[in-house]
């Protein structure tokens, strides 16, 4: 599968995503520059973590207007699979491709640590290889990972099976322990934890490989 990885000024997990998609999982990754107007035949898009445009305005707020995002939005509207990880999740909410917003962590501090993630029963292709209730240890690294949505929005997420991952022990104050969600069509996923950062035993924990193998199935 051709996996397009979008590179914004300030992206810092693009190479990790490229390595895991290609060398670890055997797909065909390609880098897409933020000024591109062509997804070059990509069958799945990844918006990686980092600090797009330095997060100078608000996390993801400037990247949302990048030329490539017009193509990503059109791709998503046609049912194309899109995954946003960390800063990528923030970009997806800013672009209106996912509901809710990512706020500053409840403790007002940057958090970089391993967390336990639980897979939920969700209406999406992304977790069909993961059993509901399965738990994984993967890292987070963010200052603005506190997911918020209003009561009506939360009821909709819960009722329509759009919650994909929850934290076991909430590190950042996210509403209802939410760590990852999909859109109502199930083809756009946003998650704050970084499965691409521990997808090989050499790194001491390969749980991320299991998660990414399912996401990129």
Positions annotated as catalytic residues are 86, 194, 196
> What does DSSP say about strands 82-85 and 44-47: parallel, antiparallel, or unpaired?
parallel
Give the C-alpha separation, 114 to 117, whole Å.
Answer: 10
Of 104, 119, 138, whose CA–CA distance to 182 is shortest? 119
What is the Cβ-side half-sphere exposure of residue 195, based on CA atoms within 13 angstroms? 28
DSSP 92-131: HHHTTSSSSEEEPPTTSS-EEEEEEEEE---SSGGGTTS-
* Contact call for residues 42 and 30 (beta carbons, < 8 A): yes
Instruction: Find the DSSP H helices in the chain.
Output: 14-19, 67-77, 87-94, 151-159, 207-215
**Cβ partners under 8 Å of residue 78, min gap 6:** none
Joined tokens for residue 193? 């934890």
Q: What distance, in Å, lies between the first and last C-alpha atoms of the chain?
A: 9
In total, the chain counts a number of residues equal to 217
């Amino acid at each position: 599968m051709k996996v397009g990885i979008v590179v914004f000024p300030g992206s810092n997990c693009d190479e990790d995503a490229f390595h895991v998609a290609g060398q670890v999982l055997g797909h065909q990754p390609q880098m897409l520059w933020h000024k591109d107007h062509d997804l070059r035949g990509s069958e799945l898009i990844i918006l990686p973590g980092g600090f797009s445009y330095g997060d100078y305005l608000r996390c993801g707020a400037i990247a949302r207007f990048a030329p490539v995002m017009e193509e990503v939005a059109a791709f998503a509207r046609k049912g194309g699979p899109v995954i946003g990880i960390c800063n990528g999740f923030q970009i997806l909410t800013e672009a209106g491709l996912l509901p809710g917003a990512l706020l500053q962590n409840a403790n007002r501090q940057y958090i970089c640590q391993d967390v336990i993630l639980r897979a939920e029963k969700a209406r999406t292709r992304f977790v069909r290889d993961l059993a509901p209730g399965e738990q994984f240890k993967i890292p987070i690294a963010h200052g603005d990972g506190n997911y918020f949505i209003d009561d009506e929005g939360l009821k909709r997420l819960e009722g329509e099976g759009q919650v994909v991952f929850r934290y076991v022990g909430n590190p950042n104050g996210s509403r209802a322990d939410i760590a990852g969600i999909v859109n109502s069509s199930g083809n756009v996923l946003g998650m704050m934890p970084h499965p691409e950062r521990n997808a090989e035993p050499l790194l001491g924990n390969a749980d991320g490989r299991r998660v990414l193998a399912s996401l990129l199935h």
